[in-house]
Structure 1
Amino acid sequence: MKKLSNLMDRIISRVNFNLRIFSIDVGDYLRGLVPENQLVKFYAFYGIWSNHPIHFHFSNSNLAGSCFLGRCKIDNSILYKCDIRGDELKVKGEVFHVDDKTLNVEEDEVIWIKDSLLVKTLVHNYSHNPEKLELFLIKNSASAPYANIHGSPIEGCFLEPFSTVDLTTLHDCRVGTYTYLQVGELSHIEVDAGWVWIRNKNLFDFNYNHPEDVLRKRYIAFVPGKGAMGMFMDFAEDRKMDFQRLYDVVNLESPIKEIPPGASINRYSVWKGKNHISRNVLVSQRAYLESSWLGEGANAQENCYISFSRLEGFNVTAHGATIIYATLGRKVFVGFNSFILGKADCPLTVGNESIIMPHTIIDLVEPVTIPGNHLVWGYIRRQADLEEHSMPLERLSKIKDQITIGRMRFRGSGDAFVEVFRQRIHHILEANGAFFDGETGRGHAQTGQTISFNIIQPYPTGEARGLYPTIDIEP
């Protein structure tokens, strides 16, 4: 495994060089995060479908347990149990709209991951950068477990556990544990753990910071030499064996005999107990569904956990979100890596069209009801906590300057903030095929039914053990 060890050293040295102004050695955090014997244990798989151009190239890389879809190129990288989703890559001939300008896409867009180490990370290409229309690049970067890279090309960055970069271009940045960024572009910045920061040019700026002592002591901490610790990691680790069969069996049967019209259950999802799904529901790979009810058009995206809950319909459960013992009305949005932990005697009820912000923690010690059309953020354990962690969308829409509520600060146009969120929720539902009528409105839930998977394995012995031979998959 000498070549694999050398590759790990090479990646760490490159990330360290890009982050040299911060005096950090990412090796202290990354070495041992994934034992080398795990990197040779799992196969990788590449999705083949007719809805998007295919091309998969990789060289001198390790892809253990990772899933790839769309045009992908992987060089000198280590990816462990990652999802690389290229189902919304731009295609040659498309017109890309930005502000009041249009740009022609000259060639099919590709995801290129170079000299990087990604661990249990979700990469989704829905890119926003008009300066690099045909290239979604991740270079000289590292990410720890359950990070999300969504529409965010990054170079020279370190993403700590459960962090999310969303529609943001990053250069030489360190993103703290359980931090969410959607700010357009950042360079040479360290963002502390537990921040939720959303900025849209000069229209608005929302930010909230979780109490550091609460976050580190109870939910998630990242310690050099010890890795990620806390309730979030324990929750995922307790359920990881449920995913083991996905790597032991090549041909998996559907968990239900009859799938409703327009619905899709990915073969690499986990299904436990008695579940119900309605038409146009999407259950993505590595989603975990247990004894729950999903109404029409609802979705469970990658790394989601939905247990003992009811989603009435057209619900968005974004990447990494957890929902347990909750009833969600129609069109409720639950953001990236949000953690909703109700209990049988302390359930959560959320009214129609409410928005639960990314990286919100709802860990209940009593029953809580959130009215419809509310924005929710932060840290909630009791009904009284909603006073400092929620606001009616109608009230938010009337804000024109700034407001501070507890640890949340908002500046700019509340009306623009609400409108942008509603448009994005509609786009997600539309892209996932929630509105499919049998003829029009096809999305991932419909096109995903026709994906087949190529299984790829590494060298089993010798100096190259754990590396995958250079391979090109083309039409």
Structure 2
Amino acid sequence: MKQLEKLIKRIYYKVNINLRELGSFDVEPYIREIVPVNQLVKFYGFYGITSHHPLYFHFSNSNLAGSYFLGKCAVDNSVLYKSDIRGDELKKKGDILHFEGADIALDQDEKISVKNSFLIKTLVHNYSHDPENLEEFIIQNTASTPYANIHGSPVEGCFLGPFSTVDLTTLHDCLIGHFAYIQAGEMIHQYVEPGSILISKTDEFDFSFNFSENILNQYIRFETGKKPQGIFMDFVENRKEDFEEVFNVVHRKLPMPVPFGASISRYSVFKGKNRIGENVLIAQRAYLENASLGKGSNAQENCYIIYSTLEGFNVTAHGAKIINANLGLRVFVGFNSFLHGKPGCALVIGKGSIVMPHTIIDLKEPVNIPSDYIVWGYIANQADLERHSMPLEKLSAIDGEVKLGAMQFTGSGHAFVKAFRDRIEHILEANGAFFDGSKFKGHAQKGQNIAYNIIQPYPMGINKGLYPTIDITL
């Protein structure tokens, strides 16, 4: 495994060099404790082929351990560990990006390019809005830790802590703390503290919230030389064996009949009695247990829906967890949110409500969230809800500044709410929620017939754990 160890050392060096302006930061103690090198030789890499996604998959001197690729992807001198690289919204040659009044055409098909990076159990989804690199969604000199999301966000020279999310933001040489969520267009040479939530659009709005250290430490802690710890890690680790069973079987029957327009990834987990409606999308590494998902709903990668009912056209974004809850029509649950009702402590969310990314609802008493509300922060009871929510109509009327508990908002509430609603509509359209049999195809319909192909590394010798150099193309 000498060559693999040499490759990993090189990536540590590359990341540290990029982050040197943020002080003395050494990525190695964090990564080394999460993934021992011998763990990287145990898994196969795999990629999906469909007639809807351009096929180009290149890798050289790489370790792809357990990672999945869809669409046009290139991996060079990189280590990926059980990551999902999902290129199903890559732009195509001739597509037009509208940016600040200008229309910019692509000269060639966009591809995801991963260089000198170590991505651990990370979700990468494209749909980049970076006008400077239209043809290349780049992840370079970057390390990310378990259950981080890189969503539409090219990153260069960055470190992402566990359960962090960078969303529609181009990052250069940034350090993102655990459970931080950033959607801010572009960031350069910045440190984002753990538990920080920031949504910003120049000259329009700023939304910010910070979790208290006491609350955050209960759910996720991450210290130098230690593995991530807390309720979030316990939750996923306790269900890890269910996924091992799925990935250890080459030919697997789907767990239930698939309704019209719906798709279920063979790499998802179904336990107990589940029900899904038409046009539902169940992505890989999604986990359903005694769940009911109405028409047009979705469960994206690393989502858990347990003993819960989603009425229809619900969006459960990457990494969100919903337990013992009832959600009305068109409820949006943001990235890495944790919604934990309990028997006797029911969680009910009314139609059209928005649960902000990285929200923690962990109930000690029943909570009923009205329709058309926006919710954020930490909620354990009805009193917490009053300090961490607001009717969308009230937020839309704000033009200026408002503070509510630890939340601060500045700018146009109307623009903020409109941007959220437009994005939810885009997600539903992209996922095929409105498919009528001929029009409005989306990921649910395009992903119904995916051929999976397995790639394995050298089994022994100096190259043990590395994959041979291969170009796969149509």
Q: Normalising TM by the smaller chain, what interval? A: over 0.9
Q: Distance in 2 between matches of 1:325 and 1:126?
A: 32
What count of residue pairs does the alignment treat as equivalent?
473
Contact 1:459–1:469 (Cα < 8 Å) also in 2: yes
SS in 1 for 2:194: coil
Partner of 2:358 in structure 1? 359
Distance in 2 separating the partners of 1:118 and 1:26: 12
1:220 aligns with 2:220: yes
Q: Which moved more, 1:82-91 or 1:32-41?
A: 32-41
Q: Deviations over 1:101-154 (max 9, x none)?
A: 211111110100000000000000110011110000000000000000000001
Question: Counterpart in 2 of 1:115?
Answer: 116
The residue type equivalent to 1:206 in the other structure is F
Say if 2:299 is the partner of 1:300.
Answer: yes
Alignment check: 8 A CA contact 1:163 1:177 kept? yes
- Would you say the 8 A contact 2:89–2:126 is kept in 1? yes
SS in 2 for 1:244: helix
> What is the Cα deviation at residue 36 of structure 1?
1.8
Query: What is the match of residue 51 of structure 1?
Result: 52
* Equivalent residue letter for 1:17: I
Which consecutive aligned stretches of 4+ in structure 1 deviate over 3 angstroms post-superposition?
Answer: none
Task: Supply the distance in 2 between the matched residues of 1:283 and 1:250 (Cα, whole angstroms).
Answer: 19
Which residue in the other structure is 2:78 paired with? 77
Equivalent residues in 2 for 1:120-199, closer than 5 Å: 120-199=121-200
Task: Map 1:368-447; keep pairs closer than 5 Å.
Answer: 368-447=367-446
Q: CA deviation at 1:342?
A: 0.8
Task: Output one character per residue of 1:251-289: Cα deviation in whole Å (capped at 9) or x when no partner.
Answer: 111001x21100000000001000000000000000000
CA distance in 1, matches of 2:327, 2:247: 32
* Structure 2 letter corresponding to 1:163: S
Is the deviation greater in 139-148 or in 450-459?
Answer: 450-459
Whether the 8 Å contact between 2:53 and 2:70 is mirrored in structure 1 is no
- Counterpart AA for 2:119: L
Report the CA distance between 1:4 and its aligned residue.
0.7
1:62 touches 1:78 (CA, 8 Å); kept in 2? yes
Q: 1:289 aligns to what?
A: 288
Q: CA RMSD in A?
A: 0.7
Question: How far has the Cα of 1:407 moved from its partner?
Answer: 0.2
Q: Which residue in 1 is equivalent to 2:470?
A: 471
**Equivalence for 1:241:** 241
Deviates more, 1:33-42 or 1:142-151: 33-42
| Partner in structure 2 of residue 23 of structure 1 | 24
Contact persistence 2:166–2:182 (CA under 8 A) = yes
Shift of 1:179: 0.1
Gaps of 5+ in 1: none
Asked whether the 8 Å contact 1:79–1:119 carries over to 2, the reply is yes
Contact kept? 2:15, 2:157, Cα under 8 Å: yes
Question: What is the Cα deviation at residue 100 of structure 1?
Answer: 2.0
**Structure 2: 5+ residue runs without aligned partners?**
none
In 1, distance between residues paired with 2:138 and 2:271? 37
The answer on whether the counterparts of 1:332 and 1:354 sit within 8 Å (CA) in structure 2 is yes
> Bigger CA drift: 36-45 or 315-324?
36-45
Q: Distance in 2 between matches of 1:234 and 1:6?
A: 32
1:315–1:332: 8 Å Cα contact kept in structure 2? yes
Structure 1 residue 99 displacement after superposition: 3.0
In structure 2, what is the Cα distance between the partners aligned to 1:259 and 1:114? 38
The Cα shift of 1:321 comes to: 0.2
Q: Residue 265 of structure 1 corresponds to which residue in structure 2? A: 264
Quick one: distance in 2 between partners of 1:318 and 1:11?
Answer: 30
- Between the aligned partners of 1:247 and 1:306, the Cα distance in structure 2 is 20
Worse-matched range after superposition: 299-308 or 17-26: 17-26
Structure 1 SS opposite 2:166:
strand
Identity among equivalent positions (%) equals: 62
The offset of 1:168, in angstroms, is 0.2
- Mapped contact 1:42–1:247 kept (Cα < 8 A): no
Note the C-alpha offset of 1:458. Answer: 0.6
Give the distance between the partners of 1:62 and 1:305, measured in 2 at CA. 28
Contact residue 43 and residue 247 of structure 1 kept, 8 A: no
Deviations 1:364-401 (A, max 9, x none): 01110000000000000001111110000000001000
Is contact 1:66-1:83 (8 Å) kept? yes
Offset at residue 32 of structure 1 (A): 2.7
**SS class of match (2:33):** coil
Note the C-alpha offset of 1:346. 0.8
Work out whether residues 109 and 133 of structure 1, in 8 Å CA contact, stay in contact via their aligned partners in 2: yes
CA contact (8 A) 2:57 2:473 kept: yes
Counterpart-to-counterpart distance in 2, 1:24 and 1:347: 44
Amino acid in the other structure paired with 1:155 = E
Deviation at 1:37, TM superposition (A): 2.1
- What SS is found at the alignment partner of 2:448? helix
- Write the distance in 1 (CA, Å) between the matches of 2:213 and 2:437: 49
1:247, distance to aligned residue in structure 2 (A): 2.4
Q: Report the AA paired with residue 140 of structure 1.
A: N
Structure 1: distance between partners of 2:16 and 2:77: 16
Q: Distance in 2 between matches of 1:98 and 1:264?
A: 33
Q: Name the structure 2 match of 1:452.
A: 451
Partners of 1:415 and 1:157 lie apart in 2 by 33
Amino acid at match of 2:437: G
Q: Distance in 2 between matches of 1:88 and 1:220?
A: 31
Deviations along 1:322-371, one digit per CA (max 9) or x if unpaired, are 00000000000000000011111112000000000000000001110000
Residue by residue over 1:280-313, the C-alpha shift from the partner in whole angstroms, topping out at 9 and shown as x without a partner, is 0000000000001000000000000000000000
For residues 201-216 of structure 1, the aligned pairs below 5 Å read: 201-216=202-217
CA distance in structure 2 between the partners assigned to 1:173 and 1:58 by the alignment:
26
Q: Which amino acid aligns with 1:385?
A: D
